[in-house]
Amino acid sequence: MADEEEAELSEKQKKEIAKWFLLNSPPGEIQYVAKDVKAILNDEELYKEAASESFPLYNKSHMISLELPCRAGDVIITSYGEINENEYLDPRTAQVAIVDHIKQVCTEARPALDEELPSPYIEEFRCALDAEILKYIGEAYPKGVCSVYCGKGKDVEGPGSDFELVVVISATRHSPQNFCNGSWRSVWTIEFKDEIQILEFSGKLQVGAHYFEEGNVQLDAKHECKDSTVFQSPEDSAISIANIIRHHETEYLASLEASYSNLPDTTFKDLRRKLPVTRTLFPWHNTLQFSLTRDITKELGIGK
């Protein structure tokens, strides 16, 4: 009996597969993936549907930053600043950016409305924290951007009520000519609890990297942490918050670097057959002779 012919995929199935590839593109590489997906689909309308559904989700999950018109600054594409699907608030400049998700550009900007901004009382805390986080970003991330949003309680007019600020940090290093792209994303939610005079933190940190010279290696690491400090004046609270964020992020980065240093003795061994078919033992004592470990070590500056 002849094998039955495979049924052709429906348009819905094709679109879902295309969306999967787009949404799982490594940092900074969705445009390259989109070009290939478009060619494979060979259907302009189907591609437009998949792209229009995928790009907004990808841009927000990767917290990409886009330059505002007239070089007024950068706006981070994140759900915390989302007014609607194509409009995103930049709290620092009090502007709303209108973006083209598929082209990944800011087409124009408008002044934010009063109802889109926090009260003067909340803005005092937000602005002080934004200034301290900017200092930290300048020290820690050569190509980093940050923004501070009011998550809850933006209408609070004075002491006596709780509110929430959200710190978003996004840093990228795109170097496709060197076969390496990467990103750092962190979101810090700070609850200002007025009654007990405590600030409670929750942080979500994520690192993504893609190395594709003579291979295809991806890193997707996530980390969560919590902390707290006392409720103080806007300036003093901002300094305390920035110091806590600096401490946790530095600690996490150090743990990642330690993991990379241990790659030859752990991960690489797990990737290798215990008994090679060549019957030749793998030289674990000198893995730096192989390009992947050598280049990762050089990129991170480990062992200098």
CB atoms within 10 A of CB 158: 10
pLDDT the model gives residue 268: 63
**Three-state DSSP class for 119?**
coil
| Closest to 100 (Cα-Cα) out of 72, 77, 78, 79 | 77
Rounded Cα gap, residues 105 and 82, in angstroms: 15
Mean pLDDT of 111-132: 96
**Model confidence at 214, in pLDDT bands (50, 70, 90)?**
confident
Q: Which two tokens stand for residue 10?
A: 């429906």
Q: Are 185 and 206 in contact (CB under 8 A)?
A: yes
Does residue 213 have a pLDDT over 50?
yes
pLDDT in tens, 216-226: 888 899 999 99
The alpha carbon of residue 145 and the mean position of all alpha carbons in its chain are separated, in whole angstroms, by: 11
Mean pLDDT of 74-102: 96
pLDDT the model gives residue 1: 41
pLDDT the model gives residue 218: 86
DSSP states along 131-165: HHHHHHHHHH-TTEEEEEEEEE-TT--STTS-EEE
CB atoms within 10 A of CB 91: 23
pLDDT in tens, 8-48: 889 999 999 999 999 999 999 999 999 999 999 999 999 99
Does residue 56 have a pLDDT over 80?
yes
CA geometry: angle at 227 spanning 243 and 183, to 5°? 65
Does residue 278 have a pLDDT over 90?
no
Does residue 242 have a pLDDT over 80?
yes
CB atoms within 10 A of CB 133: 23
**Model confidence at 2, in pLDDT bands (50, 70, 90)?**
very low
Instruction: Give the whole-number percent of the chain exceeding pLDDT 70.
Output: 84
**Model confidence at 194, in pLDDT bands (50, 70, 90)?**
very high
Rounded Cα gap, residues 244 and 235, in angstroms: 15
Does residue 57 have a pLDDT over 80?
yes
Does residue 203 have a pLDDT over 80?
yes
Does residue 265 have a pLDDT over 70?
no
Specify the range with the lowest mean pLDDT, choosing from 37-51, 76-90, 127-141, 172-186: 172-186
Which domains occur in the chain, in start order? Answer: 8-61 (3.30.1140.60), 65-116 (3.30.1140.60), 118-245 (3.90.1150.210), 264-300 (no CATH)
